[in-house]
Amino acid sequence: MIVSLGGFFMKFNSNHLPLIFFGLLLSVFMTLNGSQAVAQQPSGEEMPVHAVTMDFYSANEAYFSPDGKSLIMQARRDSLEIDYHTYVVSVDGFTYRRVNGKGHDACSYFFPDGERLIWTSTKDNLNTEEGDFSSPEDYPSGAELYVSDLLGGNIKRITNNDLYDAEVSVSPDGQWVLFGRRTDGSMDLWRMRTDGSEEMQITHTAERQEGGAFYMPDSETIIYRAWKKEDEGGRSMPMTIFTIKHDGTENKVITDDPGLNWAPHPSPDGKHFVYVRMVGRGNFEVFLMNIESGEKVQVTNNPAFDGYPSFAPDGKTIAFGSTRDTPPGQRRLVIYTMDISKFLK
């Protein structure tokens, strides 16, 4: 159960750990904008959107297949389904298939060969004890990483520990798996080969919590978000977007401001990235930034929650999650697509 405590960190059952970040941000949105989510009308100009997952009760964190025809996501098919599971859905929303139906899933991604998937699940750790996300000493664990074919068959587990391993993606050259791992109260970036070998810790910053990382097109540079531990618990906790080489060198600040900047995802040409920024009083919107110039433009404009954007292979289309069609009293997230070619410079 997601409970708003008027701040960022709150207690969850460990079966819900993959949605902690969405839950904490949505709770801030709800706290600042009223006690109920309601169907919202756009507050300003934005490009037309296409709803992909209206047939699902809720869906989150959608990423495109290499051919741009499908999205992988975690979702609840209906309100009776307690856990989020991994699904692949066509971009028109007409067809879908469930990849895994055991445990609680999150943070999934396509391999660039278009034939394999990687996903996070608690399916082998269903008896993991409940933890407390507000306590570094008692952080929930039990999520492992799995590789499968497109139908969810030929499953191979590539992590094997009692830690929190999640927020997973794959390098464009298909050689590396990038993920976040929580150890001793600190969240850091890690990489490994696609078979689980050659694990390497990338960040070693005790003062920051890093995650939400993706490789840039060169398969060496990584873009990610982080926040300072000392800011945890605040109503408007600052978050910063960085880039870093996957050997841990050249760590650079990209969003040099005190705002809440998170969920970056790079364009296929590496010139831009989409991300989420809080605008005004708890309004999360999707932005586009030119990496070289630093110029940014707002691409969504709606009083509802808009978050978790990702680029399609065509470099012109994005997917994102939003509560803009949420009925009163529900916290339903729907996946939408939008053509943002107008904003690319």
| 311 in Cβ contact with 266 (< 8 Å) | yes
Which residues are CB-contacts of 225 (< 8 A; sequence separation ≥ 6)? 210, 211, 212, 239, 240, 241, 242, 261, 262, 263, 264, 275
Nearest to 329 by CA among 14, 38, 15: 38
Please give the torsion angle defined by the CA atoms of residues 340, 267, 277 and 246, in that order, rounded to the nearest 10 degrees. Answer: 180
**How far is Cα 270 from Cα 20, in angstroms, rounded to an integer?**
29
The pLDDT value given to residue 294: 96
**How far is Cα 32 from Cα 190, in angstroms, rounded to an integer?**
34
Q: What phi and psi, each to the nearest 5 degrees, are found at residue 33?
A: -120, 15
The pLDDT value given to residue 317: 99
What would the two tokens of residue 279 be?
A: 């605008």
Q: What is the DSSP code string of 105-158?
A: EEEEEE-TTSSEEEEEE-TT-TTPPP--TT-GGG-----EEEEEETTS-S-EE-
Q: Encode burial over 115-148: b for 16+ CB neighbours within 10 A, e otherwise.
A: ebbbbbbbbebeebeebebbeeeebbbbbbbbbb
The DSSP output letter for 292 is: T
The pLDDT value given to residue 45: 79
3-state secondary structure of 281: coil
Q: What angle do CA 308, 106, 272 make, to 5 degrees?
A: 30
The pLDDT value given to residue 330: 76
Q: What phi and psi, each to the nearest 5 degrees, are found at residue 278?
A: -85, 125
Q: Which homologous superfamily is 14-343 in?
A: TolB, C-terminal domain (2.120.10.30)
pLDDT tens for the chain, 345 residues long, are 232 222 222 233 333 333 444 444 544 444 445 433 444 555 567 999 999 999 999 999 999 999 999 999 999 999 888 899 999 999 999 999 999 999 989 899 999 999 999 999 999 988 776 554 445 555 557 889 999 999 999 999 999 987 889 999 999 999 999 999 988 878 999 999 999 999 999 999 989 999 999 999 999 999 999 999 888 876 668 999 999 999 999 999 999 888 999 999 999 999 999 999 999 878 999 999 999 999 999 999 999 999 999 999 999 999 999 999 888 777 789 999 999 999 998
Q: What long-range pairs does 188-195 form, CB within 8 A, spacing at least 24?
A: 189/213, 189/222, 189/224, 189/244, 191/246, 192/158, 194/111, 194/118, 194/147, 194/158, 194/170, 195/156, 195/158
What would the two tokens of residue 55 be?
A: 């047939």
Q: What angle do CA 105, 226, 246 make, to 5 degrees?
A: 85
What's this model's pTM, rounded to 2 decimal places? 0.88
**Residue 61 CA to its chain's centroid (Å):** 5
Residue ranges of the domains in the chain? 14-343
